[in-house]
Amino acid sequence: MIMVQIAPSMLAADFLHLEKDVDLVNRNADIFHLDIMDGIFVPNISYGFPVVEAIARNAMKTLDAHLMIINPENYVERFAKAGVHMLSFHLNATENPSKVLQQIKACGMKAGLAINPDIPVKELFPYLDQCDYLLIMSVFAGFGGQKFIEDTYSRVAELRQEIQRQGLDCLIEVDGGVSASNSGKLIASGADILVAGSAVFKAEDPAGVISAMKTV
Ligand code: DX5
Ligand code: ZN
């Protein structure tokens, strides 16, 4: 069995002292989660290539970019060139999700499909065999620091069951309001990767929080 992986969301990092927070992830966590927002798919704008490239130059762990942008197909190659290893986009952000999943893999990255809390999990089912991972939002995409939506446990369990039914080995990533208070139940429901922004970077002891989140 693979141990859960913790992916701190750099959206909650200290951008004036980014090196410090990159070091923290390098030392204590598994994956860098990079939230890319365009102000159109979500009502917020985050950061772009200069920041992704700066993190990539110093990262010793996997880079996971979560695209909250329309027409993600236009940027797939650019993220690969920037050094990203895992790339996800939202199911309803593009006309042809299968084509984008293929495009991501053709660029040598792991391909992920994301859904917001108001999209039924079963809408992912036709795409599972084309995905390396699925990103289940446990808040509505757009902002860090929101409250975890409790429905997520059953959504993760439903998805895990279908992945098993189809005989696949896709990973499940959960994103939004995740902390040491819900990590155990998420892992028990079938989550493999836990994204946490505020819970890690706003903590007094971020390394302690990361290790607490790994403890079931
Ligand atoms: C929200 C982002 C999340 C966010 C998580 O749209 O996708 O990755 O940064 O932040 P917290 O853990 O603070 O909810
Ligand atoms: Zn995210």
DSSP string, the chain: -PPPEEEEBGGGS-GGGHHHHHHHHHHH-SEEEEEEEBSSSSS-B---HHHHHHHHHH--SEEEEEEESS-GGGTHHHHHHHT-SEEEEEGGGSS-HHHHHHHHHHTT-EEEEEE-TTS-GGGGGGGGGG-SEEEEESS-TT-SSPPPPTTHHHHHHHHHHHHHHTT---EEEEESS--TTTHHHHHHHT-SEEEESHHHHTSS-HHHHHHHHH--
CA atoms within 13 A on the CB side of 116: 12
Which residues pair with residue 63 across a beta bridge? 32
**Ligand 1 first shell, C-beta below 6 A:** 9, 11-12, 33, 35, 66, 139, 141-146, 175-178, 195-199
Would you say 137 and 176 are in contact if contact means Cβ atoms under 8 Å apart? yes
Q: How far is the CA of 167 from the centre of ligand 1 (A)?
A: 30
Q: How far apart, in whole angstroms, are the C-alpha atoms of residue 177 and residue 146?
A: 6
CA distance 144 to 122: 26
Q: Tell me, yes or no, if 35 is annotated catalytic.
A: yes
Record the pTM.
Answer: 0.98
**Predicted confidence pLDDT, tens digits, the chain (216 residues):** 559 999 999 999 999 999 999 999 999 999 999 999 999 999 999 999 999 999 999 999 999 999 999 999 999 999 999 999 999 999 999 999 999 999 999 999 999 999 999 999 999 999 999 999 999 999 999 999 999 999 999 999 999 999 999 999 999 999 999 999 999 999 999 999 999 999 999 999 999 999 999 987
Which tokens go with 81? 């060139």
Ligand 2 centre to CA of 64 (Å) is 9
* Catalytic hit among 38, 132, 175, 192: 175
